[in-house]
Amino acid sequence: MKISPKHLVLAFPLLLAGCTLHPEYSRPAVDIPGIYRGEAAQETQTTSLGDEKWSEVFQDKELQGLILIALQQNYDVRIAASRIVQAQAQLGITRADQFPTVAGDAGATTLRSAQNKLQPAYQLNA
């Protein structure tokens, strides 16, 4: 495949545009928390917003009432919570198969034979 000069003329500005960088670029500052949620907080750092209770995050009584009603009447949340309980139960059943099992068996057999002309009566316990 032969590349024509017309294609090179069109590709050259694109190549230059991709390689240039504004000389006054500075990376923006990003506020990153010092710990992840659930990690033990060090004495100088505050807890995460995800670790706070609803009543401590939202102080408005009307909003707290709406949140309480939503939690009580939200059937999707109830279904999701019941599925979590089912999944935990299934996990417990699955993990139970990892433990060793002990099995035992016992049996007894008694055989009696009546007396006939060829042999006397006998009893066999095994």
The Cα 52–Cα 38 span in angstroms is 11
In degrees rounded to 5, what are phi and psi of residue 124? -120, 120
pLDDT digits (tens, 9 = 90+) for 72-103: 888 887 898 899 999 999 999 999 888 888 89
pTM value > 0.75: no
Q: Are strands 122-125 and 110-113 parallel, antiparallel or unpaired?
A: antiparallel
Q: Which helix (H) or strand (E) holds 124?
A: strand 122-125
pLDDT digits (tens, 9 = 90+) for 11-26: 777 777 766 666 677 7
What pLDDT is recorded for position 1?
A: 64
pLDDT digits (tens, 9 = 90+) for 30-46: 888 777 776 665 555 56
Half-sphere exposure of 42 (CA within 13 A, CB side): 6
